[in-house]
């Protein structure tokens, strides 16, 4: 399986493609200097295969490259960051 994570600013979400098929997304809304992540969804055909983890990791890696920060309102994104503290410095406090 090959993964590709890309930002779709028009839809305000990062999407993951698995073998060129849309397998999931993590939605955000811009707020000031940060992106507020609100919801993550993985197509049931791809659940239990690490697609959600690959999606969030790819998203956070791209945010880091761009110098962006985030507010993890989505429980899945928040839990991923707790398990992977190397991404904690991307988180801004809720204001």
CATH class, domain 3-90, is: alpha beta
List, in sequence order, the alpha helices (H) in the chain.
Answer: 51-66, 75-83
Three-class DSSP category at 25: strand
Place 1 in a pLDDT band, splitting at 50, 70 and 90: confident
Residue 75 has, within 13 A of its CA and on its CB side, a CA count of 0
Place 95 in a pLDDT band, splitting at 50, 70 and 90: low
User: What integer is the mean pLDDT of 56-77?
Assistant: 97
pTM for the full predicted model: 0.95
CB 14 within 8 A of CB 52: no
User: What integer is the mean pLDDT of 10-37?
Assistant: 96
User: Starting at the edge strand that comes first in sequence, how are the strands of the sheet with 3-8 ordered?
Assistant: 3-8, 13-18, 21-31, 34-42, 69-72
Q: For the chain, report the end-to-end CA distance as a whole number of angstroms.
A: 40
* Domains of the chain by residue range: 3-90
């Amino acid at each position: 399986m090959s993964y590709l994570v890309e930002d779709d600013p028009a839809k305000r979400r990062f999407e993951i493609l698995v073998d060129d098929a849309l397998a999931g997304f993590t939605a955000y809304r811009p707020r000031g200097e940060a992106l507020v992540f609100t919801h993550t969804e993985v197509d049931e055909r791809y659940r239990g295969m690490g697609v959600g983890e690959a999606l969030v990791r790819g998203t956070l890696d791209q945010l880091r490259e761009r110098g962006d920060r985030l507010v993890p309102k989505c429980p899945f994104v928040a839990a991923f960051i707790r398990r992977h503290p190397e991404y904690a410095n991307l988180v801004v406090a809720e204001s």
